[in-house]
Amino acid sequence: REAKVGSAVLRQIERLFSEQEAGDWYCTNFEGQMALEQMVQALQQGQEFPYPIQVGVVDHEMINAFALPGGHIIVMRGLIEMAEAPEHLAAILAHELGHVAQRDPIEQALRAAGTAGLLSLVLGDATGGTVLALAGETLITAKNSRAVEARADDFALAQLAQAGVSPEALAEFFELLLEEMGDPAYDMGWISSHPPSAERAAHAREAVQTARSYNKSISSQEWQAIQQICAE
Q: CB of 132 within 8 A of CB of 138?
A: yes
Query: How far does CA 202 lie from the centroid of its chain?
Result: 19
- Enter the pTM of the model: 0.79
Lowest mean pLDDT among 69-83, 154-168, 180-194: 180-194
d(CA 148, CA 168): 21
pLDDT band at 91 (very low <50, low <70, confident <90, very high): very high
Positive or negative CA dihedral for 46, 49, 53, 58? negative
Closest CA to 25 of 62, 70, 60, 68: 60
Over 90: is that where the pLDDT of 87 sits?
A: yes
pLDDT at 43 (0 to 100): 96
Q: H or E segment at 72?
A: strand 72-76
Closest CA to 125 of 201, 193, 50, 71: 193
Over 90: is that where the pLDDT of 25 sits?
A: no
Exposed, middle or buried, 121 (CB in 10 Å: 0-12/13-18/19+)?
buried
Instruction: Give the pLDDT confidence of 2-23 residue by residue, as tens digits.
Output: 777 777 777 777 776 665 544 5
Distance set, CA 34 to CA 85, 120, 210 (Å): 17, 30, 32
Instruction: Give the pLDDT confidence of 177-188 residue by residue, as tens digits.
Output: 888 766 555 443
Over 80: is that where the pLDDT of 26 sits?
A: yes
pLDDT band at 194 (very low <50, low <70, confident <90, very high): low
d(CA 222, CA 192): 36
Q: CB of 61 within 8 A of CB of 74?
A: no
